[in-house]
Amino acid sequence: MTVSHHPDRALLLDYATGALSEPFALVVATHMALCPACRHEVSAMEAIGGAMLEASTDCSQAQPEDAFARLMAHVEAVPGEHAASQPAINDPALAAIPRPLRDRLPASPDQMPWRRQGPIETVFLPCDVPGYRVRMLRIAPGRGVPRHTHRGEELTLVLQGAYSDATGHFGRGDLETADPTLDHRPVADPGEQCICLAVTSAPLRLTGRLGRLIDHFLDI
Amino acid sequence: MFDSTGISELGGRHDVALQGLMASILSGEGNPARASHEADLLAVARDRDRVAFRRLFDHFAPRLRSFLRRLRTPEGTLDDLVQDVMASVWRRANSYDPAKASASTWIFTIARNRRIDLARRKRPEVDLDDPATVHEEADGEPLPDEQASHGQLAVILRDAIAQLPPDQSEIVALAYQRDMSHSEIASELDLPLGTVKSRLRLALVKLRTAMEGLD
Ligand SMILES: [Zn+2]
C-alpha cells in the first residue's frame, strides 16, 4: 500500500507545533498512522522545535533558588507513569482503523448506526470544538456523493476502498483537502464500499463587501 | 490576536522575534563538555537518578522559561508551567526513546503537550504499537537530530535560519515562537494563505536539508 496524497506541509507544521485544531489533528494523526513519510516529516519539524528550545537562553532571570527542591517535593509524592497496554481487538474491520480514530468510534464500522443520506451513509462522531463536523462516510461501490462545495475547509481521509474525483484517485491512507473553491463529486471505485473520515471546519468568516455578499448567498 | 505586550515584542518583525535565539547561540552557550542530556534522561528513567535530573533541570528550566515566555504564556503562570513540564519529564522519562528524538526535542514535545492539556484540548496521536499503524523501513532511518549533538544542531539551525530570506524566517518564527497556525499567520501578516504556505514549504525544505546534511 502506498499513500500518494498527503496533508500539505503547513498542516503538518501546525500539528507539530500544536496549533492545529483538535478535529483536524484527528485526521492528520490518523493519516500519519498510515503514512511513515509524514511521521518522519513531523519528527523533523519537532527537531526544529527542540533546537529552538535548546537555543532559548535569552532569559536573564534565574530560576528561584528553591525551585528544584519544590519540584522534587512535588514529584516524589506522585508515582511515575507507565503506558497502559492496549487490549487486543478481535473485530478485523475495527482493528484496521488506526488508534487515534478507533478510540473515538462508537462501534466497529459494520455495527455503527449509519444514517442514509441519498447514495451515502454517515455517522457523526462527537466533537466538542465549535464549528467543526466530524463524520464517518460510507459510499456504496460505484456510487457518487452529490456535487457539493464547502463553506469551510474539509479534510477527507480514506480508510477502506477508494474514490475518484476531478483532482485524482484516493485509496486507503490518502488525504484530500478541499477548500471552498473546490466543487467536487467523489465517486467510489466499483467492487468495494468506500469508508472515509471527513472533518469540516468552521465556515470561513469572510470579511469585506464582496465577502459579505458571498456569505449571504452561500447558505449551507 | 496579540495582546499589547505581544505587539510590542513583535515590532521589528522577524529580526526581533529571532533576536534572542541568535544572541544566545552566538554567545556560545550550550557547552558540549557535559554528560549528554540523553544519558541523563535514561538515568532518570532507570534509576530515578536525582543528580542527573538536577543537571537536566539546570539546563532546561531556564530554556523552557524563555521559550514559553515567547509563546505568550502569562508571566504569572510561567514558573508554574516550567515546574509542570519538568515534573512531566521526571514522570514520563521511562517513555523517552533516544533512537527517536534528542532530549531537547522530546522536552519540546512534552512542553507542547502540556500546553495543549492546560488549554483543555486533546491531542490525537499515533500509537506506534498499534497493529493498524503502518511501518516502513524508512521508520528505522536516523532522524536528523540523532546525527548531531545539540550544540552542532543549534549552530546548524542558526546558520540555516540566518540564510532564509526575511519573508520566510519571519513565518517560521511566528509558527514556532508565537504559536500561530498558518492561517493565523496569513491573517496576522495580511497575506494570502497560498503565499504563507509556499514560504513555509520553502523554509522547511531548506531547514530540513540543512539538518540532514550532517555527517
Ligand atoms: Zn503522508
Domain that holds residue A18: 9-76
Q: Provide the mean pLDDT of chain B.
A: 79
Chain segment B43-80, per-residue pLDDT in tens:
999 999 999 999 999 999 999 999 998 887 888 888 89
Chain segment B156-180, per-residue pLDDT in tens:
877 888 789 999 989 998 999 888 9
**How many separate domains does chain A show?**
2
Nearest by CB to A8, which of B62, B135, B197?
B197
Euclidean distance between CA atoms A202 and A52, whole angstroms = 32
- Please tell me the predicted confidence (pLDDT) of residue A202: 64
* A196 occurs within a structural domain: yes
Of A28, A59, A76, the last residue of a domain is: A76
Among A15, A54, A197, A206, the residue to mutate for chain B (most B Cβ within 10 A): A54
Q: What is the mean pLDDT of residues B25-39?
A: 56
- Tell whether A110 and A185 lie within a shared domain: yes
Euclidean distance between CA atoms B61 and B68, whole angstroms = 10
Q: Show the cell assigned to A23.
A: 478535529
> Could you count the other beta carbons within 10 Å of the beta carbon of residue A116?
9
- Tell whether A158 and A72 lie within a shared domain: no
Phi first, then psi: give them for residue B149, nearest 5 degrees. Answer: -70, 170
- Tell whether A44 and A131 lie within a shared domain: no
Rg (CA), chain A: 22
- CATH number (domain holding residue A116): 2.60.120.10
- Tell whether A117 and A206 lie within a shared domain: yes
Q: How far is A127 from chain B (nearest CA, A)?
A: 11
- Tell whether A35 and A113 lie within a shared domain: no
- Tell whether A129 and A198 lie within a shared domain: yes
- Please tell me the predicted confidence (pLDDT) of residue A138: 95
- Tell whether A69 and A137 lie within a shared domain: no
Low-confidence ranges of chain A (pLDDT < 50): 204-220
- C-beta atoms of B86 and A71 within 8 A: yes
* A92 occurs within a structural domain: no
- C-beta atoms of B197 and A9 within 8 A: yes
- C-beta atoms of A53 and B106 within 8 A: no
Which element (helix H / strand E) includes A92? helix A92-95
- Please tell me the predicted confidence (pLDDT) of residue A34: 97
**pLDDT of B19 strictly over 70:** no
Residue A9 CA to ligand 1 centre (angstroms): 10
Taking the domain B5-214, which CATH number applies? 1.10.10.10
ipTM: 0.85
